[in-house]
Amino acid sequence: MNGVGRRLVASLAGILLSTVFVFAVLRVLPGDIATARLGIDATPAALAQLRAEYGLDRSVPEQYVAWLRDAMRGDFGSSLVDGRPVRGEIIARLDVTLPLIVVSSLLAVFVSTWLGRRVALRRKSMSGLFATALSQLGLAVPTFVIGVCLVAVFAVQWRLLPAGGFPVRGWREPTAVLRSLVLPIVTLAFTQCAMLVRFARSQSLDFVSSDAFRTARAAGRTADQALGTARRLVLSPVLTITALQVSALLTTAVVVESVFALPGLGSMLVRDIANRDVTKVQSTLLVVVMAIFVVRFVVDFVNDRLDPRRLA
């Protein structure tokens, strides 16, 4: 079976393993939806009855198979807490998280490749040192601090942008949505960029000491132009790193959602775990895991096009 087919099978196996792992971990945590709903004075009889209603008294493998069967048909079940269909909730939250993650990642990728290339040629100059210092800052300072600083300046001090929140009417108020997302996107992008810049820079430096660079210079190109021909070579590893970091990105996005009071997927996941809403958590994580594998797949595909030598 060829490369694509192999990758596909490996991905599916990975997704399945992830769901089993999530299922198991959720069952190990103390407390369950019944204790979360009925509170501290619940009687054992009431708890047992509620658990039976939720189907939690079946054996764990039985519950897993039932859930997987429904999920494969596209039925992600309903929340154990309020009965709302999980699929609708995930889609609503994706309205917030998807633009946040996608735009900040793209921003980070392109800014870091451009910056990495510029800095590689100006290592000893002021702009090079400045960019390096900024990268160090971005790595050292926690994301929420960056977020809070941006809020302090742009929202509290200058009243240019909201301190947080997402418009109640969502994307039907596109201007308000964009205003709400500016600072969170910049915060998330800054954090990613700080890390990616170093890869972009080292790739660029590698190229600068290569024959291809010298040849381009000999042919009369400026240093910037010569390095420009290696755009793809620098972009490729940056994209790979981004794909590997996607799960970490979701965790950072939770922090950003918290600082900016955004009703995103990450914060919903954290709350559902606290509520032990196992159906919702499993289905949400299934979507997240699938998305991560899709991203890796796409990035592999794009990298093969950027650098045909990989396929050889």
Partner 1 sequence: MFAAAVCAVLFGAGCGANGADDSAQDSARDSITLGFTLEPTSLDISGTAGQAIPQVLLDNVYEGLVRVDGDGTIVAALAEEYSVADDGLTYTFTLREARFHDGSSLTADDVAWSLNRMLDDASTTVLPTQLAQFSKVSAVTATDNVITLTLDERDNDLLYNLTQRGGVIFKKDTADFASAAIGTGPYVFAKWDKGNSITLERFDEYWGRRADTQTVIFRYFADATALSNAMLAGDIDVMTTVQSPENLEVFKAREDLKVLSGSTNCEVTLGMNNSRAPFNDASVRKAVRQALDKPSLIETAWGGYGTEIGSFVPPTDPWFEDLTDIAPFDVNASRDAIARAGLVGTEVKLDVPPINYATNSSEFIAAALGEVGLKVSITPVTWEEWLDRVFTKADYHLTIVCHIERNDMAIYANPEYYFRFDNAEYRDLIAAAGNAATQDERVTALRSAARLLSEQSASDWLWLIPNLQVAKREIAGVVKNSVGDSYYVARIERV
Among positions 52-91, residues that touch partner 1 (CB under 8 A) are 53, 81-84, 89
Q: In this structure, what DSSP letter does residue 210 have?
A: S
Per CB under 8 A, the list member of 15, 98, 163, 291 interacting with partner 1 is 163
- Given a contact cutoff of 8 angstroms between Cβ atoms, the answer to whether 117 and 227 are in contact is yes
Radius of gyration of the chain (CA): 24
Phi-psi region of 74 (alpha: psi -120 to 50; beta: other; left: phi over 0): left
| Token code pair at residue 155 | 């929202």
134 lies in the site for partner 1, by CB under 8 A: no
Per CB under 8 A, the list member of 14, 55, 165, 228 interacting with partner 1 is 165
229 lies in the site for partner 1, by CB under 8 A: no
107 lies in the site for partner 1, by CB under 8 A: yes
36 lies in the site for partner 1, by CB under 8 A: yes
44 lies in the site for partner 1, by CB under 8 A: no
SS3 content of the chain, % helix, strand, coil (to 5): 80, 0, 20
CB atoms inside a 10 Å sphere around CB 174: 10
β-pair partners for 85: 78
- Which residues, 6 or more positions from 70, have their beta carbon under 8 angstroms from its beta carbon? 76, 77
CB atoms inside a 10 Å sphere around CB 120: 21
- Given a contact cutoff of 8 angstroms between Cβ atoms, the answer to whether 279 and 66 are in contact is no
Residue span binding partner 1 (CB under 8 A) among the ranges 38-46, 64-72, 122-130, 288-296:
38-46
114 lies in the site for partner 1, by CB under 8 A: yes
Pick 107 or 121: Cβ nearer partner 1: 107
38 lies in the site for partner 1, by CB under 8 A: yes
Per CB under 8 A, the list member of 22, 181, 235, 281 interacting with partner 1 is 181
User: By the criterion CB under 8 A, which residues form the site for partner 1?
Assistant: 29-31, 35-43, 46, 49-50, 53, 81-84, 89, 92-93, 103, 106-107, 110-111, 114, 148, 151-152, 155-156, 159-166, 168, 170, 175-176, 178-179, 181-182, 185, 257-261, 263-264, 267-268, 271, 275
